[in-house]
Amino acid sequence: MKITAAKVFIGGPGKNYVTLKIETDQGVYGLGDATLNNRESLTAKYLEDYIAPNLIGLDPRRSEDIWQFFYRGAYFRRGPIAMAAFGAVDMALWDIKGKLANMPLYDLFGGKSREGAMVYAHATGSDLEDLKDSISYYVEQGYKAVRVQCGVPGMPSASYGVSETKGDVENYITDFSGIRPKVEVWDSDLYMRYMPKALEEIRDTFSPDLHILHDVHHRLLPREAAAFAKSVEPVGLYWLEDPTPAEDQDALRLLRQHSTVPVAIGEVFNSIFDCNKLIENELIDFIRVAVTYAGGITHVKRIVDLAGLHHVRTGFHGAPSHSPLCMAAQAHLNAWAPNFGIQEYLVLGTPECDALFPSDHKMENGLFHVSDAPGLGVDFDEKEAERYSYVAGSHPVVRLQDGTLWNY
């Protein structure tokens, strides 16, 4: 069996999805996602220039050897662009494997450990009242968990995760007006004084059964993060996300010494080497990698297995930029993983998105039900894809009040 073609598509409804289609001489094809938010054209180019020509003629069933070939063969290892490109290849090869076996991927991993995987939605408000409305909207739809973000009085710009629209959150993270980032201004003192009180009010307003998550988005220094975690302890958060910049694996020691608040980190990680110390030293409770960004199913499954040895549960990244293919790969891992925790889920099922990526994966009452179709269980409509093309966009950059550049 041989790979005969590897085609790359870019574009989608309001997103620049990068989709890889690997075709074989036996008619079976596989699909993978290489969407690296706001750097999409680079993963597309990596796939087109280097990966596609090297794939032709290889046996698609040898997904491990192909992964090693690209990872070791690059010499300059890791990095988000290369790992997202390998992620797409790996996903597509697993899709082919599942179709050949006529089995959904979760069965190839070891079978289902649960029916329905708990997801969390993004609730957001310009102020606390707005945020409460947004939380109620998700509670009414049956969500069991919500991430809560709201504006901070006196903060010169919107704080992280605050959307201008209520209800289902579209891709509010990316500004498609061009490649030059907007500037947001941040003040850690204002945030640290206001947010614990706001979170307590939310806790008191909603049922104790509702899981509340909060994302600091890398903004605090290790000492500040430890103090913040201590102050939000009475809220009983499901998790506190990215309290410190994620590349410093030792930063969470101080937080751990001062608080038992569950910590989630990892959406910017692209390999096991970004999180092995965090996991082995049990400095985190949830690992947030995404199958696309961290080298595909083959590599992420290794991270999940290591995490399981240390009581660390999964909480895969599921921001608006992730394509239904990445979400499907994660859904299969979520169905299987003995150490599954929760899945971030932003409503992907718009009619345009469903037309581009038809599938029968389902969300019901805050639980994601994985499709039983062979492989990933998602298709790709090439005709529909002709409607879309690449649109340049950017994340904002963040500065402190005195102009110092800070962490977005």
Q: What is the CA radius of gyration of the chain?
A: 21
Q: Number of C-alpha atoms within 13 angstroms, CB side, residue 57?
A: 2
From the list ligand KDG, Mg ion, none, pick the one residue 321 interacts with, judged by a Cβ distance below 5 to 8 Å according to partner type.
ligand KDG
By CB under 6 A, residue 297 contacts ligand KDG: no
**What is the secondary structure of 61-94 as a DSSP string?**
T-HHHHHHHHHHHTSS---HHHHHHHHHHHHHHH
From the list Mg ion, ligand KDG, none, pick the one residue 155 interacts with, judged by a Cβ distance below 5 to 8 Å according to partner type.
none
Question: How many H-runs (helices) and E-runs (strands) does the chain carry?
Answer: 14, 16
Whether 160 is a known active-site residue: answer yes
Q: Which stretch binds ligand KDG (CB under 6 A): 64-72, 74-82, 103-111, 315-323?
A: 315-323
124-163 footprint of ligand KDG as x/- string (CB under 6 A): ----------------------------------------
Closest CA to 65 of 75, 77, 78, 55: 55
For 311, counting Cβ atoms within 10 Å of its Cβ (0-12 exposed, 13-18 middle, 19+ buried), the class is exposed
- CB-based contacts of 160, cutoff 8 Å, min separation 6: 149, 215, 216, 217, 219, 408
Q: Give residues in contact with Mg ion (CB under 5 A).
A: 215
Q: Which stretch binds ligand KDG (CB under 6 A): 79-87, 131-139, 295-303, 316-324?
A: 316-324
By CB under 6 A, residue 321 contacts ligand KDG: yes
| Active-site annotation holder among 122, 211, 214, 217 | 217
Q: And the tokens for 36?
A: 């690296």
Smallest gap, in angstroms, from Cβ of residue 254 to ligand KDG? 22
Whether 217 is a known active-site residue: answer yes
| Active-site annotation holder among 17, 143, 160, 194 | 160
From the list Mg ion, ligand KDG, none, pick the one residue 37 interacts with, judged by a Cβ distance below 5 to 8 Å according to partner type.
ligand KDG
Phi/psi for 184 (5° steps) reads -110, 145
Interface residue list for ligand KDG (CB under 6 A): 37, 173, 215, 217, 267, 317, 319, 321, 344, 395
